[in-house]
Amino acid sequence: VNALSGRSNLSLRVISGVILFPLAVTVTVVGGIPFALLAGGAAAVAALELVRMFGPLGAGEALGVLVAGALPVAANFAQDGALLPPWTALFLAGATVALLGTLLFRSGPLEALPRSAAVVALSWFYCGLLLACAVGLRRFGVGWVILAFVVTWANDTFAYFTGRAFGKRKLFERISPKKTWEGFAGGAVGSVVGALVTRWLLPTEAGPGTTDLASLSIAATVAVGAGGAVLGPLGDLCESMFKRAAGVKDSGWIIPGHGGLLDRIDALLFVAPWIYLWAAYGVS
């Protein structure tokens, strides 16, 4: 998300909040296949945006999209506390062989091919695996996914308004000239408060094999929010760095008026595995 960037304005932010957030939350509550398909579709679109940023790649694009999109869907069928089903590793090994094998039959100059193919491999991790963490979270209870959303988006929103009101010292001028340390601090408050409110509001619902969100201590909840306050902006900066390196302004075209899907979910991508770590290993 491009909080504090010139392009993002308040009306876009409101649309994003009014339409996208409730949609994501509703499908998250529904869970199961609809939620997995939404995440898989988002991973596929994000992978396409990433691969296209670094040059068209023919069959490689299709492989990037299909494999990245398959991972969150696969996560829905994982069992026994695993993030992905056991067959996923061999599936990815086969996809790697297919990706590199098809590369040989591309015409044109060789020089750029390996690096472009490598971007496809990156998209499997960055778009596919990181969104699979969000789907995997759902098995621990819907509250954990909502927690990831709130930590991410409360951070972004608080950072935006705090930065607008008090922003002075540049956070990371080389990549994102409008971000400030003041905005970062405000975002951190947002993440921590958001985490605490989510833990307080959401009903306990631990079933067999799930970890109850309510079993998170207050100190742990603060730690979850504080970690998200670092990871969210880091994910945002990374995606900005990709765009800057590729020389594009927006990652894509999927949401009218917005910069691309990757722009919308970049912070969530870095926050999701962090929340998963707590859900799966952090509370007993």
Which parts of this chain interact with a copy of itself (CB under 8 A)?
Answer: 54, 80-84, 86, 88-90, 92-94, 96-97, 100-101, 103-104, 110-119, 121-122, 124-126, 129-130, 132-133, 172, 174-175, 231, 234-235, 237-238, 241-242, 244-247, 270, 272-274, 276-277, 280
**Contact 45/61 with Cβ under 8 angstroms?**
no
* Nearer Cβ to a copy of itself (30/245): 245
Query: d(Cα 214, Cα 199) in Å, to the nearest integer?
Result: 6
* Nearer Cβ to a copy of itself (90/219): 90
Query: d(Cα 144, Cα 151) in Å, to the nearest integer?
Result: 10
**Beta carbon of residue 247, minimum distance to a copy of itself (angstroms, whole number):** 8
Helices (H) and strands (E) in the chain, counts: 11, 2
* Nearer Cβ to a copy of itself (30/112): 112
**Beta carbon of residue 51, minimum distance to a copy of itself (angstroms, whole number):** 10
**Beta carbon of residue 131, minimum distance to a copy of itself (angstroms, whole number):** 10
Sign of the CA dihedral with 51 first, then 54, 56, and 60 last: negative
* Nearer Cβ to a copy of itself (104/219): 104
**Beta carbon of residue 16, minimum distance to a copy of itself (angstroms, whole number):** 23
Class of residue 96 by CB neighbours under 10 A (exposed 0-12, middle 13-18, buried 19+): middle
* Nearer Cβ to a copy of itself (17/81): 81
**Beta carbon of residue 22, minimum distance to a copy of itself (angstroms, whole number):** 27
**Contact 34/41 with Cβ under 8 angstroms?**
no
CA 106 vs. chain centroid, Å, equals 31
